[in-house]
Structure 1
């Protein structure tokens, strides 16, 4: 569908006069509104944007988008009238139906966040019958009662969901698209989309708006890539969760994971995932330790049966105590040794942390120094070259000359050196931290052994002095302890097998997702997108040749595949053109987008509005070419509304033999707001 304007009515009620306002009817094709400067030209066009709820798209954020004539004082024939209320009516068409929009501008009981909508023309508009839609509120683009939702449905726009800078998502706000359709006088001609509102926090909003207007498939690919990236990150997060869960389970048995990293890796194999447990100063596989504990349990049971059938032997108990005391001394020495190693590793880790902090601080300082150097504050001064700026004789930059010459690294070289140092020390720090954690585990195992030996010796000593106790109890305790350890080991083994199964599936999904992401082109452009951009470039060059673009050959112009804006040698134009040529670029680019919609399916509604396009004293030949190009819209059922302060005589020359509509409102010198009949 399309969008065209049929009629604009502004009504202003005042104290002691009026009502005042304006009533303008529009035709298809080129419509030229001629008004003298300061006579209400911008008020007329801004009323259109305001009625469409698009004032934020022409640079009006929280400020009132009109001159005082709409809310304070209206002057007519030398008499000033205080404004009581004001409102705008806009009759629009989508090629199939016509609707009237009404919105309050100012008044005691006015509500500027409501737009009344009714099917039919302005003359038959009845406020009580009209539908009310809200704007400037949450969900005004998606809710059934949101005006932008109605408006997009009316002109056939299906707004895409786009990423935001805060990590969320939202629909592409219509006000971000409007600068491609409406160029206002004050800021609009400083650049393409210069009145674009950024406070909606839409990521790369300029690109998103152009992509939507041209209906580029890149957006679909972008959404697909974002969805795949989100899925990929989610899968990586699942992987990390399984890693930490298995790691925590392993810690319950004083063990650690082998054959598995925090993130997927090329050498990953589900069969390589194991849990190693610290046992008697060495690491042993969980499965092997489980076999040993089960054998120890059977031996303990057999020993218990043997003890039950024999008398209590004090001497045997004393022998066991002596054996355990020897083991205790050995274990104590082992514990002290391992604790000393842990303390040494901890001290080394602290030193590395201080070194890393120092490197990061130096890196920050050199980054600041590099930024200062890039400003070239001394560029071109002879003192920067080691010469006196007055007599040009060589001068030293220090009081004492160096006896030995040294090659001193520049700020950039120092920064590169620091980054390499950071990379090296970060690697060393990570390895040291891993070693520290492993040694902490060894110390914990040794400490547990000490506690167990001390408790066993204490119980054995009690069995000698307490006749109620027998050494059978010690074997029972040993059985219970082994059974608990076996149960815990089996739980960890069972969980390990579960993790293996989960990671096997995860690894396949991660590889598949990564492959899908890599298959998407880096610029995301489809074949049709490239064809559209190629034709947009051709149309732009055609327009600029016709307008007399002369900063360089217009045939050197290109359309950037990164920003979709006019470029030269893949760089956006920026300040590479004269002021008048910058205006011609805006003309050509926006009209080329409209012309492109005649050849390809796009989301362009076929409407353009220019407020005073003859900026920077663009010559009459260029202006005439613009009007001639714009007049071609009528046969394509499109509309360009152009407001100018050109004198009537020069305008007649510029529009000679053109099929267009002229609305000359201020030839008599009167301002635009006049009594309504």
Structure 2
């Protein structure tokens, strides 16, 4: 993106005031004395782009009073009645638009950004019809009417989704990206990428760097997140189908064989079946239905011969039925007792697991505190008394327990092992409990049926009827059970087929997971990061960084910031060996931000840098003129980079001359205040 021109118009009670400047396509230096409006011009550019959050707020509140309240000019206070900023920008494809945003206006809100086609400021083209857009409201980065959505499209970018601190996802907002492009004076030089507005993005600085460099990590993460979401959906679908199958089978005293509650890619629908509990064992459902039909046929034969049966035979049938009922009652009581015992055991194991988790957390916390103490040379953290230097035990029970005692690390390993064992026990108990509940239900159903049958048989004995009500009742029971089991068999076939489809999806998901890169960065990413590191080192060397050997400084693969001995290089910190002077740290920021562009601008593997850098007072902390000269020279040499540098150069002509000697640039400067009659 190229910023071609800016104009500020302020309507006052003494006429129109403001300023108007054109910018070069490469290096533009904005030179002015302190408090003369240099930062006002810089912040006006950010405001026109909807990026004023980088200064510390939203809308016109972040702008100085001269742009919205009153202007100090030649000793007079001139009231501002209306003001606006116009910005002319050009895209990489050559499209030119003019942006207009009100600062103070009785009609137009400061959230409104009007977009006009054409070069109104540099070529005098008429504004024409405006395309209204808005900023700092819901959907501004996603809806077509949002200005930041327009700007993203205008820049030819496609901002990815990134993880948030609460576990969700959000867009990598354009304002976060611009924190690595525009550095304001007050807080912008305090970090490699400072002033990223808070959007709840996890590791926001790292995500911005990954995007600007064009790393494949976003595509990899998108694919991995898609597979993760698909895996969760597969798990939920499987459990839903299995639970439906279990709801159908359990009331009929049937159990599922060949499938588990947890999904498995190895599941085969032709190997799964429903089995009917029968005594202490189970039989295939089809076999049980055949047995019922055979019993029905036998009952039909008995019904035809019933009038020939003697009373003794009828009484014998009653006795046999009573014995069977008694046996079923005993089995039911045993099953109930086992079920109750399993419930109690499950509660006990869950209580033990909770205690183990609590103990494990306490030990991990103690170990963490000890390790933190060791890093800060706390004597007790290394098992020494801080007063007498005598060794102390790593336990609170040293005087109460004799014999060997476990230290924290051993205790943590033991508790983790115990926790895993308890979790396995609990899983087994839950499975056994479900099986015993099915057994109890099946026996209760059989007891109820047997009692009904026994009542009918006793009625047959006492009434002396020629037809047996008991046989009829039992036949009705068989007909009802066969019908229910037949429906179960049909339903099970359907559900097993669905489980088979889910297993195929799971297998494909697992295969895709195995094909994902095991490392966070691809080979192409590593190559880009190595190039980024080389560019950074070269820049830091040319800018005069001396606080650490440049060849030993690396770009951390996790944080993507400069590190020395795996520690981030920062401003002065007396507790680490990688101390840097304040001015040296600013040199690192120059090197870092410029290296982001240089690496992104590589033709073979281009990134997403817009090709614009804006620095407000980069010569922080009495920066040497030689270093400023090296920075400006490097910026001017990047022919595809537009750089806008606002600086006072210590308000001396000599420093300015030294910093700009031999460099091609466009100069913007003024005497007195920035805002003047137009």
- Partners of 1:5 and 1:91 within 8 A in 2: yes
- Partners of 1:58 and 1:179 within 8 A in 2: no
Cα deviation code 1:421-444 (max 9, x no counterpart):
221112112212222222222222
Question: Structure 2 CA distance, aligned partners of 1:499 and 1:398?
Answer: 56
- The worse-fitting range, judged by mean Cα deviation, of 53-62 and 85-94 is 53-62
Q: Which residue of 1 aligns with 2:136?
A: 136
Q: Which residue of 1 aligns with 2:504?
A: 508
Cα deviation code 1:539-587 (max 9, x no counterpart):
2222111111222222233334444433446664456351323212221
Matches within 5 A, 1:401-440: 402=399, 405-440=402-437
Q: Which residue of 1 aligns with 2:346?
A: 349
Q: Which residue of 2 aligns with 1:446?
A: 443
Q: Which residue of 2 aligns with 1:159?
A: 159
Choose the corresponding residue for 1:605, options 585, 610, 618. 610
Question: Structure 2 CA distance, aligned partners of 1:367 and 1:345?
Answer: 32
- Partners of 2:395 and 2:407 within 8 A in 1: no
Cα deviation code 1:183-224 (max 9, x no counterpart):
11122211122211232x445443433333223333223322
Question: Structure 2 CA distance, aligned partners of 1:414 and 1:386?
Answer: 17
Q: Which residue of 1 aligns with 2:585?
A: 582
1:398 Cα deviation from its structure 2 partner: 12
- The worse-fitting range, judged by mean Cα deviation, of 296-305 and 267-276 is 267-276
Q: Residue 419 and residue 598 in structure 1: after superposition, are their counterparts in 2 closer, same or farther (change >3 A)? A: closer
SS at match of 1:33: strand
Q: Which has the higher contact order (CA 8 A, sep 6+)?
A: 1
Matches within 5 A, 1:514-525: 514-523=510-519, 525=521
- Partners of 1:57 and 1:177 within 8 A in 2: no
- Partners of 1:312 and 1:470 within 8 A in 2: no
- Partners of 1:460 and 1:471 within 8 A in 2: no
The normalised TM-score by structure 2 is: 0.89
1:132 Cα deviation from its structure 2 partner: 1.2
Q: Residue 181 and residue 477 in structure 1: after superposition, are their counterparts in 2 closer, same or farther (change >3 A)? A: same
Matches within 5 A, 1:141-540: 141-164=141-164, 169-199=169-199, 201-265=200-264, 268-307=267-306, 310=307, 314-376=311-373, 380=377, 402=399, 405-466=402-463, 471-523=467-519, 525-540=521-536
Q: Residue 400 and residue 571 in structure 1: after superposition, are their counterparts in 2 closer, same or farther (change >3 A)? A: closer
Choose the corresponding residue for 2:667, options 629, 642, 662. 662
Q: Which residue of 2 aligns with 1:653?
A: 658
Q: Which residue of 2 aligns with 1:102?
A: 100
Question: Structure 1 CA distance, aligned partners of 2:81 and 2:95?
Answer: 34
1:609 Cα deviation from its structure 2 partner: 0.1
Cα deviation code 1:274-298 (max 9, x no counterpart):
3332212323332332222222222
SS at match of 1:376: helix
Q: Which residue of 1 aligns with 2:109?
A: 111
Q: Which residue of 1 aligns with 2:620?
A: 615
Q: Residue 461 and residue 399 in structure 1: after superposition, are their counterparts in 2 closer, same or farther (change >3 A)? A: closer
1:156 Cα deviation from its structure 2 partner: 2.0
1:350 Cα deviation from its structure 2 partner: 1.9
- Partners of 1:214 and 1:604 within 8 A in 2: yes
Q: Residue 616 and residue 287 in structure 1: after superposition, are their counterparts in 2 closer, same or farther (change >3 A)? A: farther
2:76 maps to 1:79? yes
Cα deviation code 1:501-522 (max 9, x no counterpart):
3333333332222122222213
SS at match of 1:370: helix
Q: Residue 168 and residue 283 in structure 1: after superposition, are their counterparts in 2 closer, same or farther (change >3 A)? A: same
The normalised TM-score by structure 1 is: 0.89
- The worse-fitting range, judged by mean Cα deviation, of 117-126 and 141-150 is 117-126
Aligned length: 664
Q: Which residue of 1 aligns with 2:644?
A: 641
- Partners of 2:540 and 2:550 within 8 A in 1: yes
Cα deviation code 1:357-403 (max 9, x no counterpart):
22223233333333433441996566777877667688999999938
Name structure 2 gaps, 5 residues minimum: 572-577
SS at match of 1:260: coil
Q: Residue 53 and residue 518 in structure 1: after superposition, are their counterparts in 2 closer, same or farther (change >3 A)? A: same
Question: Structure 2 CA distance, aligned partners of 1:379 and 1:657?
Answer: 50
Question: Structure 2 CA distance, aligned partners of 1:52 and 1:529?
Answer: 31
SS at match of 1:64: helix
Question: Structure 2 CA distance, aligned partners of 1:397 and 1:534?
Answer: 45
- Partners of 1:260 and 1:268 within 8 A in 2: yes
SS at match of 2:185: coil
Question: Structure 2 CA distance, aligned partners of 1:424 and 1:650?
Answer: 72
Question: Structure 2 CA distance, aligned partners of 1:105 and 1:185?
Answer: 21
Name structure 1 gaps, 5 residues minimum: none
Q: Residue 428 and residue 63 in structure 1: after superposition, are their counterparts in 2 closer, same or farther (change >3 A)? A: farther
Q: Which residue of 1 aligns with 2:635?
A: 630
Question: Structure 1 CA distance, aligned partners of 2:512 and 2:208?
Answer: 26
1:313 Cα deviation from its structure 2 partner: 5.1
SS at match of 1:132: strand
- The worse-fitting range, judged by mean Cα deviation, of 202-211 and 597-606 is 202-211
Question: Structure 1 CA distance, aligned partners of 2:607 and 2:60?
Answer: 33
Q: Tell me the C-alpha RMSD between the 2 structures.
A: 3.2
Cα deviation code 1:308-366 (max 9, x no counterpart):
xx267554433322222222222222222222222222222222222222222323333
